[in-house]
Amino acid sequence: DAGVTQSPTHLIKTRGQHVTLRCSPISGHKSVSWYQQVLGQGPQFIFQYYEKEERGRGNFPDRFSARQFPNYSSELNVNALLLGDSALYLCASTAGGGVWFEAFFGQGTRLTVV
Amino acid sequence: TQLLEQSPQFLSIQEGENLTVYCNSSSVFSSLQWYRQEPGEGPVLLVTVVTGGEVKKLKRLTFQFGDARKDSSLHITAAQPGDTGLYLCAGGISNFGNEKLTFGTGTRLTIIP
């Protein structure tokens, strides 16, 4: 069975550009979350979507946006890229809606801003 | 703001030794998850503990959730070089479809053959 898939795996962008990262959740999972992991730190929560609605937003500027599609896949968009946006961006998939959850992560997208 | 403090941050021990990694918070979580992450890859889920006082074993790894669901520990018996990696604990909050993980800073474990 396919796990969480993310694309692209690596990306190099220039300051000021925008980027779109994509995520396909595990089949049957309805919730997708996005996390940013800077080198040497634990992942930080960016967004969570469940049933195509935004359910949570972390402490990130409005340059970060996301959406979830009817097939539960998701996109993370970042505008006006800064050097500090360089990080590993992780997508997590859960079944959603329970009193507790298990999150399964994709391999991540390594974004480098130059 | 929920914070998870993980200790130690770095640990280097000889093959065959035992070790314990701690994950502490002042917040209560619905669940506590442990992950292992290799460089440049996504975290891989090792275990999820849900009930206060719960203990789960995965071969040589033993995971415990504190009675108050605020802290957890990971104990590895007879460490092997294959255990080398970054171990992350993450506290989960779930509320009618709203889900969020708060991660610790991680423990980088090196097992010396």
Q: What is the pLDDT of residues A36-57, one digit of tens each?
A: 999 989 999 999 999 999 999 9
Q: Residues in chain A, how many?
A: 114
Instruction: Note the pLDDT tens digit of each residue in B34-62.
Output: 999 998 899 999 999 999 999 999 999 99
**Position B75, amino acid:** H
Taking the Cβ of residue A96 and every Cβ of chain B, the question of whether any pair is shorter than 8 Å is answered with yes
| pLDDT for B1 beyond 70 | no
| pLDDT for B111 beyond 70 | yes
| pLDDT for A1 beyond 80 | no
Looking at residue A96, what is its pLDDT? Answer: 81
**Position B92, amino acid:** G
On the 0-12 / 13-18 / 19+ scale of CB atoms within 10 A, B56 is: middle
Residues of B in contact with A110 (CB under 8 A): 40
Taking the Cβ of residue B49 and every Cβ of chain A, the question of whether any pair is shorter than 8 Å is answered with no
DSSP-based three-state secondary structure for B59:
coil
Return all residues near B86 (Cβ < 8 A) that are at least 6 apart: B36, B37, B38, B39, B106, B107, B108, B109
Question: What is the pLDDT of chain B when averaged over all its residues?
Answer: 94
Sign of the CA dihedral B55, B56, B57, B62? negative
Looking at residue A97, what is its pLDDT? Answer: 78
Looking at residue B97, what is its pLDDT? Answer: 85
Taking the Cβ of residue B33 and every Cβ of chain A, the question of whether any pair is shorter than 8 Å is answered with yes
| pLDDT for B2 beyond 70 | no
**Position B47, amino acid:** V
Question: What is the pLDDT of chain A when averaged over all its residues?
Answer: 95
Decide which of A17 and B105 is more confident.
A17
Q: Residues in chain B, how many?
A: 113
**What is the tally of helices (H) and strands (E) in chain A?**
0, 11
Instruction: Note the pLDDT tens digit of each residue in B90-101.
Output: 999 998 889 999
Task: Report which of A105, A110, A89 is spatially closest to residue A35, judged by C-alpha positions.
Answer: A89
State how far residue A109 is from chain B, nearest Cα, in angstroms.
9
Question: For residue B10, what is the nearest residue in chain A, using CA coordinates?
Answer: A40
Looking at residue B108, what is its pLDDT? Answer: 96
- Token pair belonging to B6: 């993980």
Rounded distance between C-alpha atoms, residue A75 and residue A21, angstroms: 6
Instruction: Note the pLDDT tens digit of each residue in A63-109.
Output: 999 999 999 999 999 999 999 999 999 999 998 878 889 999 999 99
Rounded distance between C-alpha atoms, residue B40 and residue B44, angstroms: 12
Looking at residue A82, what is its pLDDT? Answer: 98
- Token pair belonging to B107: 């423990």
Residues of A in contact with B4 (CB under 8 A): 42
